[in-house]
């Protein structure tokens, strides 16, 4: 999706935040993906601050204000409707 958005000229940045205590899986994730990853820490504690759940996509606007959450366990991107919905959310954010 990131490549599709970039090719369409949609200006969004995607990155992942790895949960504290899930560090052991980082190498398998980063080896298979080109998505930048940040490791959460007890100092940052982003998962708690954001009320994050596993596989959440948190959408923030240009001012880093949270505007929505899309959970990939609930809305599997293998379903074309879910894929289109999330892609549309990114496109809408970029158009603002």
- 12 to 18, 22, 27, 42: CA distances (angstroms): 20, 26, 25, 27
Higher pLDDT among residues 10 and 17, named by residue: 10
Rounded to an integer, what distance in angstroms lies between the CA atom of residue 13 and that of residue 28?
22
Segment 32-54 shows an average pLDDT of 84
Rounded to the nearest integer, the mean pLDDT of the chain is 87
Reading the block at residue 32, the tokens are: 């298979």
- DSSP letter at 24 equals G
Rounded to an integer, what distance in angstroms lies between the CA atom of residue 29 and that of residue 31?
5
Question: 0.85 cut: is pTM over it?
Answer: no
The domain segmentation of the chain, as residue ranges, is 2-95
Handedness of CA 21, 32, 10, 5 (dihedral sign): negative
């Amino acid at each position: 999706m990131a490549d599709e958005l970039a090719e369409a000229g949609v200006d969004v940045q995607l990155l992942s935040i790895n949960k504290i205590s899930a560090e052991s899986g980082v190498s398998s994730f980063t080896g298979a993906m080109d998505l930048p990853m940040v490791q959460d820490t007890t100092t940052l504690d982003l998962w708690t601050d954001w009320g994050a759940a596993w596989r959440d996509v948190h959408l923030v606007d240009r001012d880093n204000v949270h505007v929505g959450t899309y959970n990939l366990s609930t809305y599997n991107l293998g379903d074309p409707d879910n894929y289109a919905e999330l892609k549309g959310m990114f496109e809408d954010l970029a158009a603002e």
